[in-house]
Amino acid sequence: MAVLPAGMRNNNPGNIKFIGQPGARPSVNTDQGDPQAVYESPQAGMRAMYDLLMRKYLGGKVTPRMIIAGQGGWTPGNEQAAANIAKTMGVGLDDNINLTDPANASRFMRALMLQEHGQASLTYGDDMIQAAIQGDGTGTQAASNPYTTVATAAFPYKLYGGATREDAITGMNKSFSDALLSLYNAAPPEVQRELGLNSAYRNAAIQQQLWDKSDKTGRNVAPPGKSRHQFGEAADLYGFGLTKDQVSQATKDWVTQNAQKYGLFFPMEHEPWHIQLAKAQGQAGPGASPGAVGPHVQHPPTATVGQPGPAKLGTPAATDADEKKQPWWKKMLGDAAGGATNFGEVGKSAAAPLQPSPGAAVNQLQPMSPVNPQQEELKRQMLAQAMARLNQGVLWS
């Protein structure tokens, strides 16, 4: 009769080393010089294997190479074992295999056991693997699997800090989360393995807490109701900080250079980790918001004497033909601004200063025209209405 491999005799389908873990005892035999863990039943050993696998995955080891051969992997440095497991699964060595999906976890465990025990591992049935994924290690089905939350299933990349809250992921605007996932999924393997999130959607209470702790300038934390995080249209990328938790420069470059292909941009130069929808609610995106800070934002040109001031980006400068088509309230603002046609420069005249007539005294004053009180009052009322429209944000409608 064939003798089962030592790991299987120890009820240890993953060949896990003994390090004092609860529910296990050290084996008599050794594996590469160290004792193996001996579990009470094959099912308990299968659950221990799944737990260890998910701790590695959620800790940032998201590819077969990283899980098996990487630092802190199952068998560090064993590239051939990683390649065998990837081949058995039918995936690439550097693919993110999304182990929060129970089907993927099952396939990986089957491939890992085949690598560790060969054909003898087929003794373990698929039902035992499924029970380990869904159960508590005794064969009893658990109410839920803590490793397969909606959040981790929806966004299978590394999550840290505020991004570990389930609503941080599930609360994201679908357009934004789809765009961000498309960007991440399109990244090369060496970039993908570094990608993660520190923060995503925030509810009003969390935004209020951050605001209360801030310096109230709005530079680093937006007030409640003003943050794109609250709309689910922004996220903070892991490792894109200025001083710590750095990802490689190659990863930063790839993400920043490709973000616009997926409708995303980085609006704030002082927060290189903050990414958001290019057409977020209430914001026109890169190049359309004069005064915004960021590498993708164009700034309006400075007005010069005798030239109209900067029109809104993406809007042609006003012409004489446009002047005739303007609503009265727009023309009123132009007249009130000394004839300027750029409504972004209300209160500043773009016309050249008047020059004195030849031979006239420099300090000569022209007689004033008589003032008509009724016309002045009408002008005042029209200007007030025009300014009200401006304050309502309809100037560019």
DSSP 369: P
Report the alpha-carbon distance of residue 324 to residue 130 in Å, rounded: 74
Determine the pLDDT at residue 24: 93
Q: What residue has token string 């900067």?
A: 310
Determine the pLDDT at residue 314: 36
Burial 152-190 (b: 16+ CB within 10 A, else e): beebbbbbeebbbbeebbbbbbeebbebbbebbeebeee
Neighbours of 194 (CB within 10 A): 22
Report the alpha-carbon distance of residue 364 to residue 357 in Å, rounded: 10
Determine the pLDDT at residue 242: 64
Burial class (CB in 10 A: 0-12, 13-18, 19+), 7: buried
Report the alpha-carbon distance of residue 79 to residue 69 in Å, rounded: 5
Q: Is there a contact between 109 and 53 (Cβ–Cβ < 8 Å)?
A: yes
Residue 28, classed as helix, strand or coil, is strand
Neighbours of 80 (CB within 10 A): 12
Report the alpha-carbon distance of residue 99 to residue 48 in Å, rounded: 15
Bridge partners (DSSP) listed for residue 25: 38
Q: What is the pLDDT along the chain (397 residues), one digit of tens a residue?
A: 568 899 999 999 999 999 988 889 999 988 888 899 999 999 999 999 998 998 888 777 889 999 999 988 999 999 999 999 999 999 999 988 888 888 999 999 999 999 999 999 999 999 999 999 886 555 444 445 655 555 666 787 888 888 888 888 889 998 999 999 999 989 998 888 888 898 999 999 999 999 999 999 999 899 999 999 999 999 999 889 866 668 899 999 999 999 999 999 999 989 999 999 987 444 433 433 322 323 322 223 323 333 333 333 333 333 444 444 445 445 555 554 444 333 333 333 344 444 544 544 444 444 555 666 666 766 666 666 666 655 554 433 2
Alpha-carbon separation of residue 292 from 56, 234, 289, 306, 348 (angstroms): 41, 16, 6, 27, 22
Amino acid making up residue 174: K
Q: Tokens for 265?
A: 């941009």
Verdict on whether the full-model pTM lies above 0.75: no
**Can you list the domains of the chain with their CATH numbers?**
6-134 (no CATH), 171-277 (3.30.1380.10), 321-339+378-397 (no CATH)
What is the DSSP pairing of strand 158-159 with strand 196-199?
parallel
Report the alpha-carbon distance of residue 15 to residue 113 in Å, rounded: 9
